[in-house]
Structure 1
Amino acid sequence: MYFPFLVNLDDKAILVIGGGKVAYRKVLLFKKFSTNITIIAPEICSEMEKEIKKNNFVYLKKCFENGDTLKFDIIIAATNKRDVNKLISLESRRNNKLVNVVDDPELCAFIVPSIISYENFLIAFSTFGKAPSLSRVFREEFEKDFNSNFDSIIKYLESLREDIKNRNYLPEEKEKILLNCSRKAFKYFRRGKSLSEIKAMIENCN
């Protein structure tokens, strides 16, 4: 059974094995959260080559060999050969590494969800690998609304939270005020109100 949690990748070494379009998309995703990415593949697509040069990622021009995963924390197996992907999964699991095998949930220690990500919030959708295209549909529908404007609302609520924390209220009172403000902010945001309008509408909730 999968448990969703957020991992800080600042000190994690990521290995992507594969050089095609699928591997390239995984690199695009992980580069949003880490610059410590290594790619292993005998050949890479032109898009991957540009991405490696642009970001100074490490590229090892070779086929996967036993032991390649040992110095990495997170491994993405994205080759077009299931037997190779299975070897990568077995070695990773044997050494307690987090491994994801693209389009093969049975070989995965973790699944990469479809995500909407901004500076102050992240929303993830997953069908546990059973219908990944549906996860993509969810993301595409939600990201129409949950965008940089919503990010601004969260930054405002963060500053409001700090203000409430410094006031002489009982803990349960602070929690009640912040929950009420958050509910109002969310409701007005979904109604298409701007940040300045939302601020004005909830200014009396604290």
Structure 2
Amino acid sequence: MKDFLPLMLDLSGKAVVIFGGGHVGERKAALFCEHAHVIVVSKEFTPRLIELSEKGKINLIKADLSETGISEFLKNAFIVIPATNDAILNEKIAELAGKIGILIDRVDGLGDIIVPSVIKRGDIVIGISTHGQSPALSKYIRERIEEAITPGFAEMSKLQNELREVLKTRVEDQKKRRKILWSIINDYEVWTALGESYDKAYMLASKHIDRNIND
């Protein structure tokens, strides 16, 4: 099994080329089009892919794939996804992409990257992966974590970020700033207030700063 390192990637302006216009290609295109420039190469496309293209979210290229043609479509690609219904063709695409150092996202999990199951709460992003061994278990873990990481965590993240900036202007000692922020995270009243009003939570959290500065 490969030893994968969890990373966050900024794909702005990067090209993700998907070979295959079926349901797997559709799922990958729907995911990556929110973060990158997506090109789908295939002889046919699902209605959803056509819809995404009409909305300007992806580019569709209708083509039969030969080795020469594949190489042409690999130019400027950052990530390549072989997702045709032809296993031999998928292997050829992966082989050609690998030779020129392009990252490969294979649906069998044997490529260079694995897209995890994701939980997003505002600026909080949590990825869960079983290295492709059990997508069902990834889903199960995600659902359990979703129960614990409520939308209030996104508000707490926003609150912490704002108060960090305030503390930089009022508290010189970094250890003391961390202590204050930690005390806010552990304040049940602040969490409760976040469920009612962000302003109320901010006011309660600010009292931690005042108390610690005056101590």
Same fold (TM over 0.5): yes
Give the alignment's Cα RMSD to 1 decimal: 2.6
> In structure 1, what is the equivalent of residue 6 of structure 2?
4
> In structure 2, what is the equivalent of residue 40 of structure 1?
41
Distance 2:129 2:4 in 1: 10
* Amino acid in the other structure paired with 1:135: S
Describe the shift of the 1:40–1:153 C-alpha distance in structure 2 as closer, same or farther (beyond 3 A): same
Describe the shift of the 1:32–1:15 C-alpha distance in structure 2 as closer, same or farther (beyond 3 A): same
Which of the residues 69, 79, 101 maps onto 1:74?
79
Alpha carbons 1:185, 1:202 under 8 Å: kept: no
Distance 2:114 2:151 in 1: 26
Runs of 4+ in 1 over 6 A off after TM superposition: none
Structure 1, unaligned stretches of length 5 or more? none
Q: What are the Cα deviations for residues 37-94 of structure 1, in whole angstroms up to 9, with x where unaligned? A: 1110110111111111112521110133330223211112211222121112112221
Whose helix proportion is higher, 1 or 2?
Answer: 2
Residue range with higher mean Cα deviation, 47-56 or 3-12: 47-56
Q: TM-score, normalised by structure 1?
A: 0.85
- Number of equivalent positions: 202
The percent identity for this pair of structures is 25
1:1-206 pair list within 5 angstroms:
1-34=3-36, 36-64=37-65, 65-67=69-71, 68-102=73-107, 104-106=108-110, 108-144=111-147, 146=149, 148-184=151-187, 188=191, 193-196=195-198, 198-199=201-202, 201-206=204-209
Q: TM-score, normalised by structure 2?
A: 0.82
Distance 2:184 2:171 in 1: 18
Structure 2, unaligned stretches of length 5 or more? 210-215
Alpha carbons 1:93, 1:109 under 8 Å: kept: no
Specify the SS of the correspondent of 1:60: strand
Describe the shift of the 1:149–1:182 C-alpha distance in structure 2 as closer, same or farther (beyond 3 A): closer
Alpha carbons 1:18, 1:41 under 8 Å: kept: yes
Distance 1:184 1:88 in 2: 53
| Structure 1 residue 175 displacement after superposition | 2.0
Distance 1:32 1:145 in 2: 26
| Higher CA-based Rg | 2
Alpha carbons 1:114, 1:139 under 8 Å: kept: yes
